[in-house]
Amino acid sequence: MTTPVLRQELSAPQLFTLGFGCIIGVGWIILVGAWLASAGSLGAILAFALGGGGMLLIGLCYCAAYADFPVAGGEVAYCYGWFGLRAAFVAGWILVLTFSIGCAFEAISVGWLLAELVPQLSGPVLYGVWGGEVHAGRLAIGLALMLLIAVINWLGVQATARLQDLITWGLVAMTAVCIGVALWNGAVANLVPLFPAGSAVAGFLSVLAMVPMFYLGFNVIPQAVAEKSERVGTRQVALTIVLALLGAMLFYVLIILMTASAVPREELLGEELPAYTAVSAAFGSTGAGKLVLVAGLLGLLSTWNAIFYASTRTLLVLARAGTIPAGLAAIDARFRTPAAAIALTAVIGAAGTLLGPAALVPMVSGLGTAMTLVFAMIALGVLITRSRRGAAGRLVPAAALLVALALLANGLIQAGINSAVPLPPEWVLLAIWSLLGLLLWLAAGSWRRAVPEAERRRILLPAPE
């Protein structure tokens, strides 16, 4: 009996929409008010512009890594090629955390937005977590959509990619209308203060700590190359990564300008969803303002779909490498998708959804901080490779490594500074996941031994045909 394999159907535009759609949907409509409150209009723009520039350096390292290892598996394969299996497991374990708990972030946010569109959907309060209320209706919406996303991913990569195309371009069209009208009717005076009084640097750094999570998504592209069409070459894959990051940088700057310029700061920050208030003021209609809620909803769904996909493919490659149970590498015979990995991602995401809206900011800053460690590993690998070869172009990976380490340090520090409790939730999340990873590695000796090293290398770094 032939072992089912993944279909190879994704085009370059579909790779782009997977990456770009994943980046621009990470809850900006929920947290843009927090950015403006913390850093001011110019401070928030600088955080996303400078942070985006740093992420572009890291993205270029991903392009270099893919050029060296034009294989599926993304960071897991790259780190295995450079540093060995332990480093590959560390990178993969962080990715599973980031993608699967990222799904929980999307589920919570979507439930919140739908309740804003139709208030009756909120339902009664079930319980509280970290001072926030978890409503029955919002929770049910999030869990139901988690199941729907899982089913779509189970049905096949083309179903996933077509959904991503539809959502991403719908989001771009709606957001372009909102941005255009808001900027046309906005006032420069509303951008004042450019920085919050007395806390310009602190505010900038607190927003900068969130930036890695809000640019996360470009690295979904390397996860998807196992299913790209044979017509898509190495240069096209690299180009989609760069274009996704550049497009996202422009998108975030325009979103901040749109929101900050439409309404005076005092009025804006008093609202639960400032982006909705801004667009309502620009159109002169609360009904029209709901357009940005729909755009935000599409953005959340686009990211949710993409990171769910990426989580399943990361689990797949870890299982094939023998670092987690081999059953997670099982491919559905009919749809040729990793059914067990899809189920596990849905379960982890659903568990995170139970934490409710108070977990949103800790999720963003904690997961973003965790990912900077992976970014540092990628930059270090490219730097070492080029140094060994005596190759030119070592400045970019060296700069990217410094950026990643700086973002890592800032994220850990900001979590401690901004926490309302002695032990920041971000630290707790990272500590628990690290402990689980350590226990799993110690218990997985038999799984690793079951895969001969030559076979593992063939799986992670297959020779080009």
Cα(353)–Cα(103) distance, integer angstroms? 8
Cα(163)–Cα(114) distance, integer angstroms? 19
What region does 29 belong to: left with phi over 0, alpha with psi -120 to 50, or beta? alpha
pLDDT at site 53: 92
Please list, in sequence order, all residues whose beta carbon lies within 8 angstroms of the beta carbon of residue 297, skipping any fewer than 6 positions away.
Answer: 110, 113, 114, 117
* Tokens encoding 455: 């076979």
pLDDT at site 160: 64
Please identify which residue in the block is written with the tokens 């994704």.
10
Please list, in sequence order, all residues whose beta carbon lies within 8 angstroms of the beta carbon of residue 60, skipping any fewer than 6 positions away.
Answer: 242, 396, 400
**Regarding the domain with residue range 12-457, which homologous superfamily does it belong to in the CATH classification?**
Amino acid/polyamine transporter I (1.20.1740.10)
DSSP state, 135?
E
Distance of CA 36 to the CA centre of its chain: 21
pLDDT at site 464: 59
Contact 377, 91 (CB under 8 A): yes
Instruction: List the beta strands (DSSP E) in 241-339.
Output: none
* Tokens encoding 40: 């001011």
Please list, in sequence order, all residues whose beta carbon lies within 8 angstroms of the beta carbon of residue 117, skipping any fewer than 6 positions away.
Answer: 290, 293, 294, 297
Please identify which residue in the block is written with the tokens 């403006």.
36
DSSP letters along 273-288, please? -HHHHHHHHHHT-HHH
Quick one: which H or E segment has residue 132?
Answer: strand 132-135
For residue 38, which amino acid is it? Answer: S
pLDDT at site 3: 45
3-class secondary structure, 408: helix
What is the pTM (predicted TM-score) of this model?
A: 0.85
List the chain domain ranges.
12-457
What tens-digit pLDDT sequence spans the chain (465 residues)?
344 555 556 777 888 887 887 788 767 777 888 888 888 889 999 999 999 999 999 998 988 888 888 877 789 999 999 999 999 999 999 999 988 888 998 899 888 888 888 888 888 999 888 778 889 999 999 999 999 999 988 887 666 667 777 777 887 888 888 888 888 888 888 888 888 877 788 888 888 888 888 888 788 787 677 667 677 777 888 888 889 999 999 999 998 998 888 888 888 887 777 888 888 888 887 777 787 788 778 777 877 887 898 899 899 999 988 999 888 888 887 878 889 999 999 999 999 999 888 888 788 778 888 899 999 999 999 999 988 877 667 888 999 999 999 988 888 888 778 777 777 888 888 899 999 999 999 988 888 998 899 999 998 888 755
3-class secondary structure, 338: coil
- Rounded to whole angstroms, the maximal C-alpha distance in the chain is 70
pLDDT at site 168: 76
